[in-house]
Amino acid sequence: MSEAQVVFAEEQPKEKRYAGFWMRFWAYVTDLIIVFSINGILLIPFKFMNDNIQLDIGFWTVTGIISSIVFYLYFLFMTKSFKQTLGKMIFGLKVIREDDKPLTWSDLLFREVVGRFIHRVFFIGLFLYVFVAFTNEKQGIHDMFASTRVVFAE
């Protein structure tokens, strides 16, 4: 190969390999195990308080509020800091913007908080994850909100 061919080959952008449904599913299951473990450690003291009676704040319990906060903060800060959660790291995946610019807080708030909230709160929302299997760029609804993609890390 001549020097011109080598330079040209290096300038070609690498084709993105989008992560499919099953890879993302197993990464998410791994993340849920991690989040549940963190919540288990953080919420143990509440079992010894108030004679093991749950503390309620209106419609919600204190432990439910704390575990939800941990869930959303885990996904938000891991994705902002590393472009991936521990589950995505294990399976070699990362989150990128569709325009390849760095992820912003607003991207991640829409993806990790608003998108996941919709998936978790509305019963039908869980089935919306199946969109990943049928879109060209393997996007879930939360990816569409934030204009993000999940790709294989290089």
One-letter amino acid at 148 equals T
User: What does the pLDDT look like over 25-56, one tens digit per residue?
Assistant: 999 999 999 999 999 999 888 777 766 676 66
> Global pTM?
0.83
Q: Residue 86: CB partners within 8 Å, gap ≥ 6?
A: 30, 31, 34, 78
Inter-residue contact 94 to 88 (CB < 8 Å):
yes
Q: Is the pLDDT of residue 69 over 60?
A: yes
What value does the mean pLDDT of the chain take? Answer: 87
User: What does the pLDDT look like over 122-138, one tens digit per residue?
Assistant: 777 777 888 899 999 99
Residue 95 in tokens: 């989150």
Q: What's residue 8's pLDDT?
A: 52
* Residue matched to tokens 């473990």: 37
- Using DSSP's 3-state secondary structure scheme, residue 93 falls into strand
